[in-house]
Amino acid sequence: MPGILWIASYPKSGNTWVRVFLANLILDAKEPLSPDRANEVCVSEANRVWYEPFLKDKPWDEQSEQDIADARELAQKRAVEVNKRVVLLKTHNFLGEFLNKPLCSMHSTAAAVYIVRDPRDVAVSGADHFGVSIDETIELMSKTGARSEADENLVYEIYNSWSNHVKSWTQVKHKNLIVLKYEDMLADPHTVLGGFAKKLGITKDQERIKRAVEFSSFKQLQALEAERGFIERSHKSEKFFRSGKAGGWREVLTDKQRYRIEKDHKVQMKRFGYL
């Protein structure tokens, strides 16, 4: 049955890694694909291309937040109708409503993969990506109003706080929801990535899975970005694939910063074994 397979996460939690793995797997690549080619398999839900048919009454830069919110369900329905099958869409939206409109339409949803990462590492990676201080990133992660801004290519996304984002996607167990921990993906990518690929019914071919895992390793992605660049790299950051390791926060965060994150997100961190 056609529908959206969401690849969802809070920003800087491993969403791109999963998308590049899926691109290598689904396209059955025989050599590592450039990270930009992830969009051939899984494009962003926030891409303007889905929305433009429903926002023709006034110029794009005059569209209000409510205009976008009103068009979102129609845009997601269009993504399914255009593809006439399961369509993979990336999102950093939390699973809820904004301006009384759903951010992710359940009418168009088939399943979801949600990636969660230790928020202490998210804070370090996010600060580099957004070009702000770690303290500013920690503050952003605590805010229910956290969001991205629209630009010439993308509509806005609503993150909410890190805790609310994680809770919204994972609080209800559902057979069509796969939850992946970034740290598990790092520790045993063949088992974790291969396991969810099989669960999604993409392939059981072990050689194909092994190749896709190797082609999407962090070291490989760093090399490919250095050689070919990456369109999703923030202009505020030197590189998108910066470190990628688990626990790197220990070398960066002050005790005060660590305590603030653990205080703000204690419940969800405990749920996922980060405390």
What are the tens digits of pLDDT across the range 1-11?
689 999 999 99
The first and second tokens of residue 70, run together, are 């009103």
Counting other chains too, the contacts that 126-130 makes at CB distance below 8 Å and 24 or more residues apart are 126/11, 126/12, 128/237, 128/238, 128/242, 129/11, 129/12, 129/234, 129/236, 129/237, 129/240, 129/242, 130/234, 130/236, 130/237
Q: Is the pLDDT of residue 229 over 60?
A: no
- State pTM to two decimals: 0.90
d(CA 80, CA 86): 7
Rounded Cα gap, residues 166 and 93, in angstroms: 11
Alpha carbons within 13 A on the beta-carbon side of 250: 5
Upper half-sphere CA count for residue 30 (Cβ side, 13 Å): 0
For the chain, the distance separating the N- and C-terminal CA atoms, rounded to the nearest angstrom, is 40
The region that residue 155 occupies, defined by phi over 0 for left and psi between -120 and 50 for alpha, beta otherwise, is beta
- Its CATH architecture, for the domain 3-271, is 3-Layer(aba) Sandwich (3.40)
The pLDDT of residue 1 is: 63
| pLDDT for res 174 | 80
Arithmetic mean of pLDDT, 48-73: 91
Segment 105-158, tens digit of pLDDT: 999 999 999 999 999 999 998 898 788 999 999 999 999 999 998 988 899 999
Token representation of residue 273: 């074994």
Q: Maximum Cα–Cα distance for the chain, whole Å? A: 52
Of 88-92, 178-182, 196-200, 236-240, give the lowest mean pLDDT range. Answer: 236-240
d(CA 260, CA 266): 10
pLDDT at 237: 46
Q: How many CA atoms lie within 13 A of 85 on its CB side?
A: 3
CA–CA separation, 192 vs 250, rounded Å? 25
What's the mean pLDDT in 31-48? 85
More reliable by pLDDT, 34 or 232: 34
DSSP-derived letter for residue 158 is B
Measured in degrees and rounded to the nearest 5, phi and psi for residue 190 equal -65, -45
Domain ranges of the chain: 3-271
Distances in Å between the alpha carbon of 55 and those of 46, 48, 218, 241, 262? 14, 10, 39, 35, 42
Q: What is the DSSP letter of 61?
A: G
Record the tokens describing residue 152, joined without a space.
Answer: 């010439």
pLDDT of residue 166: 98
* Whole-number pLDDT of residue 232: 47
